[in-house]
Chains A and B, each alone.
Chain A
C-alpha cells in the first residue's frame, strides 16, 4: 500500500453514530457520569436562543429580544472504526425543555439520573420521558450522606412505571456507569422486540 496517498477518511467505511441521552435535574451528576466513561474530557456545545421566544422563568426581566445560551455537555466512546457512541447530557434547567427535543431526536435511549437528596427534582424530567416514545431507565445516583432509600420506595415516590428499569449507580464509577448504559440498551432492545411482536413499530425520538 502506498501510504503517501493513504487517506483514512476516504478509505474508511461508512461510520454509524448512535447516542444515549443522560437527563436529570440541575447538579445531579450528569456531566460526572458522562466523564466517567467518555474517552474524551466532556465537551460543551452551546446553542443560542432568542430569549423572547423561550418559556422563560420571568418574562419581565427580558424586555426585548435578547439571546441566551443553553449549554450541553457530551462525551464520546469509539466502539469500532465504524461505530461511535455519543453521550449527551441535557441542560439542567427545566426552562430549556425545547432543547431536550433536539437532544433526544434519534437517540437509542435515555437514563434519567436522580439525586435522592432532592428527589422532587426528578418529577419534571420523568414527566418529560413518560410523554415521549424514547425508552428510558431511571438511575439513582448515590451521593455520600444521602438518604438510603429502598429502590421500591423510590419507585413508588416517583411513580415510576413498573416496566421502566430502576437501578442504583455511582456516577463517578466507570463500571457503574457502564452498567447503567448496558441497562439502557437492553431496555431499548426489549421494547423494540415487544413492539415488533405486537406489530406496531414506533420510530424513535
Chain B
C-alpha cells in the first residue's frame, strides 16, 4: 500500500482481515435493510468478538440499517455486510424487511405510507 491510496480512515488494517478474508456475505443484505438486536443478543455478542459486539451494541433496541452500521463502525460496506450476515445467521441480529419489490398491492401500500409520511413532516 502506498501513498496513492485514497482511503481516508488512516488505518492500515487490511479491509477484510476482520472477516478472515471472506468477501461474500452468507446472505445478501441491501444498504437500507434494517437490523436490530435484543438485549439478550447484545449481551451474548460479548463472546462473538470486538467487531460483532460493537455492531450488536449499535443495534440494541433500535433499528439501524446496514449503511448506518457501516458508517458508525467506520468499516467499509462490504466488510460490514459480511459480519452482519454472519450475525443474522448466528441469531445475534434480527433482519427486518426491505421494501417489497414485487406485488402491486404490496408496493402500492408501501408507497402510500411513504407518501403520507412525507406529507406529515
Contact = CB atoms under 8 A, between A and B. Distances in A.
A106 B98 contact: yes
B108 A192 contact: yes
A77 B121 contact: yes
Contacts of B40: 7, 10
Contacts of A66: 1-2, 4-5
B114 interface: yes
Contacts of A85: 114, 117-118
A84 B68 CA distance: 12
Contact of B32 (A10, A19, A188, A204): A19
Interface in B76-110: 76-79, 94, 96-99, 101-102, 104, 107-108, 110
Contacts of A88: 31-32, 67
Interface stretch (A68-76, A119-127, A148-156, A165-173): A68-76
A102 B37 contact: no
B61 A8 contact: yes
Interface in B32-47: 32-34, 36-41
A188 to B, nearest CB: 6
Contacts of A110: none
Q: Which 10 pairs between the two chains have the least Cβ-Cβ distance? A: A79-B117, A43-B71, A9-B36, A18-B99, A15-B96, A19-B32, A45-B70, A86-B32, A47-B77, A48-B76
22 contacts: A8-B61, A8-B62, A9-B38, A9-B41, A9-B60, A15-B34, A15-B63, A17-B65, A43-B68, A44-B71, A46-B8, A46-B9, A46-B70, A47-B77, A48-B7, A66-B1, A66-B5, A69-B7, A71-B8, A77-B117, A79-B117, A106-B98
